[in-house]
Structure 1
C-alpha cells in the first residue's frame, strides 16, 4: 500500500488538534488481518522541559516516531496510520495483526528506547472505526490540500509570511445566489475580481473569483477557507480552491535572477555557436 499522507487541523469542543493520517488506506480499510488498534501517547511537558530549544524538542520526537515505527513494523508487522498532536500530547496510532503485540513488549521497548513515561492501549478494532474517525471530512480535505500547496510554495522558495493578493474561486448553483453573496463578501473584506473568470461545472454553473490581501501561512489560509466554505455551504455554493503569485525570499530571488542570467548567457553562446557553424 502506497503512502498518501494528509495533514489538517481539527477543532474539538476543548482543543485544537493537528492530524496526520495515511489516506492511502481509505479505499481498502479495513484490512481483515489487522484487527488490533494500538495507541501510544506521549505527554509533551516533560519532553519540553528536558530540551533546551524547540528544534531539539522536535528532533527528539521525530527520532522517537521513526524508531517506534521501525520497531513495530519489524516486530509485529504493524501499520502506522497516523498521529494526533495537541498542545499537551502527541498520540501515535497503529493497526497490528491480532495477538502480535502485547503490553509487555511495549513496556520493555519503551524502557530501553524512551526516557519518558508513555500511556498506551491495545484494543480490538476490526472495522477500523478509529481510522475512519481520523480521515478528513469535506472541509478538512481542503485543509489537506492547503498544507500540500503551502509546502510546495516553501519548497520553491516562497516567503509565505509576505502578504500578496490571494485569489479564491467560488461556484454557485444560481446566479441570484452569486449576486447576493457578492455584497456579503465585500463587507468581509474580499474584493470581487470582475475581470477574472472561474471555471463553471454542470452542477455549479455560476463562478465567482474573489481576492484578499493576505499572507499564505497555513493558519491564515485555513481560516479563510473555513470562513468561505461555511458561507458557500449555506448559500447554494461551493468553495473551489485558492491561488496566489509567489513571493520569493530575498535569497531565493537573487538565486532566481542569477539562474535567469546564466540561462540568458548560455542562450547567447548557443546561438553564437550555431551562427558560426552555419
Structure 2
C-alpha cells in the first residue's frame, strides 16, 4: 500500500485539531487482519515546559514519532494511520494485529525511549471506524490541497507572508446563483475579476473568478477557503481552487538573479570556446 499523507485542521465545539492522516488506505480499508486500534497519547504540557525553544519541543516530538513508527513496524508490522494534535495533547494512531503486539515489550520500550508519561490504549475496531473519523470531508480535502500548495510555494522560495492578489475560482449550476453571490462577495471586499475567464465544467457552466489582496499563509488561505466554500455551497455552487503569483523573499530574488547571471556567463564562455575551436 502506498502512503499518501494529508494534513488539515478540524474544529469542534471544544477543540481545534491538526490532523495528519494516511489517505492511502481510503479505498481498501478495513483490513481484516488489523482489527485493533492502538493509540498513544502524549500530554504536551511537561514536554513544552522542559524545552527551551519551540524548535526543540517540535524536534523531540518528531523523534518520538519516528522511533514509534520504526519500532512498531519492525515488531508488529503495525499500520500508522496518522496523528491528531490538539492544544494539550498529541495522539498517534495505529492499526495492529493483536497476535503480534506484545504489550509488555511495547510498554518497556516506551518507558526506555520516552521521558514523560504516555497513555496507551488498545481496543477492537474491526471496521476501522476511527480511521473513517480521521478521513477528511470535502472542505478538509481543500485544506489538504492548500497545505500542499503552500509547501510547494515555500520550497520554491516564496515569501508567503507577502500580500499579493490571490485568485479564487468558483463554479455555478445557474447564472442567477452566480449573479446573486457576486453582489454578496463585493460587499465582503472581494474583487470580481471580469477580465479573467474561468473554465466551465460539466454540470457547472457558469464560472466566476474573484480575488483578494492578502498573504498566502496557511491560516489565511484556510479561512478564506472556509468562507467561500460555505457561501457557494448554499448557492449550489462549487469551489474550484485558488492561485497567486510568487513573491520571492529578498535573498531568494538575489539567488535567482545570481543563478541566471552565472548561467548566462557560462553560456557565453561556451559559445566563445566553440567559436575558437571551430
Inter-partner Cα distance in structure 2 for 1:213 and 1:275:
51
Q: Is 244-253 or 93-102 further displaced after alignment? A: 93-102
Name the counterpart of 2:231. Answer: 231
Q: Is 82-91 or 111-120 further displaced after alignment? A: 111-120
State whether structure 2 residue 65 is matched by structure 1 residue 68: no
Per the normalisation by structure 2, the TM-score is 0.97
Name the counterpart of 1:194. Answer: 194
Name the counterpart of 1:259. Answer: 259
| Deviation of 1:2 (Å) | 1.1
Deviations along 1:92-144, one digit per CA (max 9) or x if unpaired, are 00001133224423321121111100111101111111111101000000000
Ranges in structure 2 where 5+ consecutive residues have no aligned partner: none
| Deviation of 1:272 (Å) | 4.1
Name the counterpart of 1:149. Answer: 149
Deviations along 1:224-254, one digit per CA (max 9) or x if unpaired, are 0000000110012100000000111111110
Per the normalisation by structure 1, the TM-score is 0.97
Inter-partner Cα distance in structure 1 for 2:223 and 2:105:
43
Q: Is 255-264 or 47-56 further displaced after alignment? A: 255-264
- Aligned with 1:159: secondary structure? coil
State whether structure 2 residue 93 is matched by structure 1 residue 121: no
Name the counterpart of 1:246. Answer: 246
Name the counterpart of 1:107. Answer: 107
- Aligned with 2:126: secondary structure? coil
| Deviation of 1:72 (Å) | 0.7
The 5 A counterparts of 1:2-81 are 2-81=2-81
Inter-partner Cα distance in structure 2 for 1:121 and 1:248:
47
Distance 1:173 1:64, change over 3 A: same
**Number of aligned residue pairs:** 278
Inter-partner Cα distance in structure 2 for 1:273 and 1:208:
54
Name the counterpart of 1:183. Answer: 183
Inter-partner Cα distance in structure 2 for 1:20 and 1:152:
18
Question: What is the root-mean-square deviation of aligned Cα atoms in Å?
Answer: 1.3
Ranges in structure 1 where 5+ consecutive residues have no aligned partner: none
Inter-partner Cα distance in structure 2 for 1:111 and 1:240:
48
- Aligned with 2:55: secondary structure? helix
- Aligned with 1:99: secondary structure? coil
Deviations along 1:243-269, one digit per CA (max 9) or x if unpaired, are 000111111110011111122223333
State whether structure 2 residue 130 is matched by structure 1 residue 130: yes
